[in-house]
Structure 1
Amino acid sequence: MKDFFSIIGGMGTIATESYVRMLNHRVKISRDQDYLNYLLVNDAQIPDRTTYIKDHTKSNFFFALREDILQQAQLKPDFMVMPCNTAHYFYDDLAKLTDIPFLNMMRIAVHHFVDEYPQEQRIGVIATEGSIYDHLYVDEIEKVKRTVELGGPEIQPLVTRLIYTNIKEKGIVDAELYHHILRTMHDQYGCKVILLGCTELSLAQEKAPDHPYHVIDPQSILADVAIELEQQIRAGQNPKEVVQKYLYQ
């Protein structure tokens, strides 16, 4: 297969399914051959990211990701993507494993926020406890001279319930809970824009988009970027050149 990219997924599986659905349904097609070429690694056995980030005595998810990336690198995709925000805890170490371009979903999303909302100096962030604990998005947002609002102590338990109890454990999206979280971040903490720092939250946005709030959805943005890049590569452009503009440091 030529002109393809690799998806390092399975964190969790139905969130990855949502990412693939975005890829497939956003491409304009009139025949089978118009769809993108990609390889999906749905590694459902990768240890929980938040559990390790908060307690290093627990199973380290780096090694499973390392194996997945090295396996895919042998196939020489045009680039790789990893639709899991919290797994970007090891992004720099993983990117060093191969010379295949490895897109950073978090950095792409943060730069999209700056481009889309240039007047906004502050953004709300909801994410896994692991991402919040290690300041993953806080650090990236501060690099672009913006500030972060995480909300009060009542926010994280609600977000964790939506991600883990509802989506990961039951496979359902509690739309009412999702909208309540967004409304609280907007009304009580003044967040005009809210970043969805977990792909389960991206799934919630896909399934329950009927709300009035402005969100930055990294998984959705990553889908659009992958489509743009792969279509340019298919049209004959050099893979390393077209990917370069999204390799933010």
Structure 2
Amino acid sequence: MKHFFSIIGGMGTIATESYVRLINHRVKISKDQDYLNYSLVNDAQVPDRTAYIKDHSKPNFFYDLKDDIEGQDKLHPDFMVMVCNTAHYFYDDLAALTDVPFLHMMRIAVHNFVDNYPNEEKIGLIATEGSIYDHLYADELEKVGKQVELGGPEIQPMVNELIYDNIKEKGVVDKKLYHKILQTMHDKYGCNVVLLGCTELSLAQEKAPDHPYNVIDPQSIIADVSIELALKIRNGMDPKEATKKYLYK
């Protein structure tokens, strides 16, 4: 297969399915050959990311992802994307395993926020406890001079319920709960923009977008970037030249 990219997914599977659905439906097509070429690794056995980040005695998810990256590296894709926010905890170690351009979904989302909301000094963040605990998004936002608002103690239990009890366990999106979280972040904590720091939350946005709140959706953003890069490379641009604008440090 020529001119393809690799998707490291399965964290979780339903969220990865959402990403694939986005790229398949957003690319402009008139025939089968207009769709993008990609290799999907849906590694559903990757250990829980949040569990390890909060307690290093739990199974380390790095080694599963290492195997996935090294396996895809042998296929020589044009670039790689990992559609799990919390898994970016090991981004630097994983990127060092390959010379293939490896997009950083979180950094791309943060720069999208800066570009599209230049006058906003802070952004609300809802994410897994792992991402919150290790400041994964907070550190990236601090690099660009932005502040993070996490909300009060009532926010994380609602986010956990939406991510784990509803989407991961039952495969459903609780629309009312998702909208309630956004409303609380906006009305109570003054967040004009909310960052969806988990791909399950991106799935919630895909399934329940009918609300008045501004969101930064990393999975939606990386889907658009994937399409942009894949088409440029298909049309003859060198992969490293095409991807360099998105390889933020």
Same fold (TM over 0.5): yes
In structure 2, the partner of 1:164 is 164
Query: 1:54 Cα deviation (Å)?
Result: 0.5
In structure 2, the partner of 1:189 is 189
Letter of the structure 2 residue corresponding to residue 72 of structure 1: Q
Measured on the aligned residues, the alpha-carbon RMSD in Å equals 0.3
Query: 1:104 Cα deviation (Å)?
Result: 0.1
TM-score, length basis structure 2 = 1.00
Superposed CA offset, 1:93-141 (max 9, x none): 0000010110000000000000000111100000000000000000000
Superposed CA offset, 1:165-217 (max 9, x none): 00000000000000000000000000000000000000000000000000000
Percent identity reads 77
Query: 1:155 Cα deviation (Å)?
Result: 0.2
Is the counterpart of residue 10 in structure 1 residue 10 in structure 2? yes
TM-score, length basis structure 1 = 1.00
Letter of the structure 2 residue corresponding to residue 141 of structure 1: L
In structure 2, the partner of 1:173 is 173
Runs of 4+ aligned residues of structure 1 deviating over 6 Å after TM superposition are none
Letter of the structure 2 residue corresponding to residue 200 of structure 1: E
In structure 2, the partner of 1:105 is 105
Provide the C-alpha distance between the structure 2 equivalents of 1:187 and 1:178, rounded to a whole number of angstroms: 14
Query: Helix, strand or coil for the counterpart of 1:245?
Result: helix
In structure 1, the partner of 2:121 is 121
1:95-244 correspondence runs (5 A): 95-244=95-244
Provide the C-alpha distance between the structure 2 equivalents of 1:118 and 1:35, rounded to a whole number of angstroms: 34
Letter of the structure 1 residue corresponding to residue 108 of structure 2: I
Give the paired residue count: 249
In structure 2, the partner of 1:34 is 34
Provide the C-alpha distance between the structure 2 equivalents of 1:130 and 1:160, rounded to a whole number of angstroms: 11
Is the counterpart of residue 52 in structure 1 residue 39 in structure 2? no
In structure 2, the partner of 1:92 is 92
Query: Helix, strand or coil for the counterpart of 2:246?
Result: coil
Query: 1:161 Cα deviation (Å)?
Result: 0.5
Query: 1:73 Cα deviation (Å)?
Result: 0.2
Letter of the structure 1 residue corresponding to residue 39 of structure 2: L
Query: Helix, strand or coil for the counterpart of 1:29?
Result: coil
Provide the C-alpha distance between the structure 1 equivalents of 2:199 and 2:98, rounded to a whole number of angstroms: 25
Provide the C-alpha distance between the structure 1 equivalents of 2:95 and 2:239, rounded to a whole number of angstroms: 17
Superposed CA offset, 1:21-74 (max 9, x none): 000000010000000000000000000100000010000000000000000000
Letter of the structure 2 residue corresponding to residue 184 of structure 1: T
Letter of the structure 1 residue corresponding to residue 151 of structure 2: G
Query: 1:76 Cα deviation (Å)?
Result: 0.3
Provide the C-alpha distance between the structure 2 equivalents of 1:39 and 1:16, rounded to a whole number of angstroms: 13
Provide the C-alpha distance between the structure 2 equivalents of 1:165 and 1:90, rounded to a whole number of angstroms: 26
Provide the C-alpha distance between the structure 2 equivalents of 1:5 and 1:233, rounded to a whole number of angstroms: 10
In structure 1, the partner of 2:80 is 80
Provide the C-alpha distance between the structure 2 equivalents of 1:68 and 1:237, rounded to a whole number of angstroms: 26
* Structure 1 unaligned blocks of 5 or more: none
